[in-house]
Structure 1
Amino acid sequence: MSASPPDRGGRDRGTDGAGTAVRTVVCVTCGRTNRVPAAAEGSPRCGNCRAPLPWIAEAGDADFGEVAERASLPVLVDLWAAWCGPCRQVTPALEQVAEDRAGRLKLVKVDIDKSPVLARRFEVQAVPTLLVLDHGRPIARRTGAAPANALRRWVDESLPTSHGPADPASRRPS
């Protein structure tokens, strides 16, 4: 595998040889490095300690169905553009939400300039546009950047009850 350089979260964006994008994620529980594919059954867990790992992937017109719509977890879709300042500002907050909700949520980033079919399908008129999908169906929509705590609250309120936080007071996964 020829890996791409790691992003600032220590993740690379290589492929697994079959064309599926793979990120390398360091487990916050034990510190081990894990490879997390963009699409898979279930949800990613650390190969060492079995702790849930954040699932962050990129998708486009060609693979959105496989990466996002067939995901076994609810999906937070970030429809963004490289030229958009607020999109770049909200990225760390979205990644924090994905890390906080590891094992219960998948973050899928879609560059609308590279994926015009998805931009039209979801009627994107401003970026960032955020969607929550459950079994491939949009159940919530939000436009614009927001801090991590506001995004976390919106996601928690949008998630189906079967995927919501176990402890409503702490808003932390069990």
Structure 2
Amino acid sequence: MSDALHVVCPQCHSVNRVPAERLAEGGTCGKCKAPLFTGEPVELDAAAFDKHIGRSDLPVVVDFWAPWCGPCRMMAPAFAQAARSLEPRYRLVKVNTEEEQQLAARFGIRSIPTLAMFKGGREIARQAGAMDAASLVRWIQAQA
């Protein structure tokens, strides 16, 4: 009997059940038919954030950033590279703290970029400051 994992669609944010042994195959959303894994960070608003954090069985790594932040913009390509190498074992997402100020306040984001990892709906790790792709991957893998 296989264990199914809940994976939230990056497109329509529906929750999908994926057999654990078939996770590497990716799969498509049962609702919108979009790929469940794109190798790109997923931009989230507050409603989608709560769905991804609360319903996903995968560890979710959040990049809290802002468009005016130089280090955030510098780290964006490294974060995207990390997403390509870490999916489908992790979901990497981005939250624009300018557009989602209440979300940033809810999690006490004081400096950006700030990375936070969530598993089972709870924050399990946090790291402030920009990192290169190799450091990002090492930090993420060390947490989960």
> Which letter does structure 2 place at the counterpart of 1:98?
A
Question: What residue number does 1:97 align with?
Answer: 82
Looking at structure 1, the residues matched to 40 and 120 of structure 2 have their Cα atoms a distance apart, in angstroms, of 16
> Which letter does structure 2 place at the counterpart of 1:40?
V
CA offset digits 1:13-43 (Å, max 9, x no partner) = xxxxxxx863xxxxxxxxxxxxxx5443246
> What secondary structure does 1:117 align onto?
helix
> Which letter does structure 1 place at the counterpart of 2:87?
A
Question: What residue number does 1:6 align with?
Answer: none
Structure with max Cα Rg: 1
Structure 1 pair 68–56 and aligned structure 2 pair: CA distance change class (3 A):
farther
CA offset digits 1:72-99 (Å, max 9, x no partner) = 2100001000100111111111111111
Looking at structure 2, the residues matched to 107 and 75 of structure 1 have their Cα atoms a distance apart, in angstroms, of 6
| Equivalent position to 2:56, from 53, 65, 71 | 71
- Larger % of helix: which? 2
| Equivalent position to 2:113, from 128, 132, 135 | 128
Question: What residue number does 2:26 align with?
Answer: 45
TM-score by length of 1: 0.63
Contact kept, 8 Å, 2:52 with 2:60, in 1: the verdict is no
Which shows bigger deviation, 62-71 or 125-134? Answer: 62-71
TM-score by length of 2: 0.75
> Which letter does structure 2 place at the counterpart of 1:99?
R
Structure 1 pair 39–88 and aligned structure 2 pair: CA distance change class (3 A):
farther
* Structure with greater contact order relative to length (CA < 8 Å, sep ≥ 6): 2
Aligned counterparts, 1:3-152, within 5 A: 22=11, 37-41=12-16, 42=18, 45=26, 53-54=38-39, 56-152=41-137
> Which letter does structure 2 place at the counterpart of 1:111?
N
Contact kept, 8 Å, 1:38 with 1:56, in 2: the verdict is no
Note the residue ranges of structure 1 that are not aligned, 5 or more in a row: 1-19, 23-36, 160-174
Q: How many residues align?
A: 123
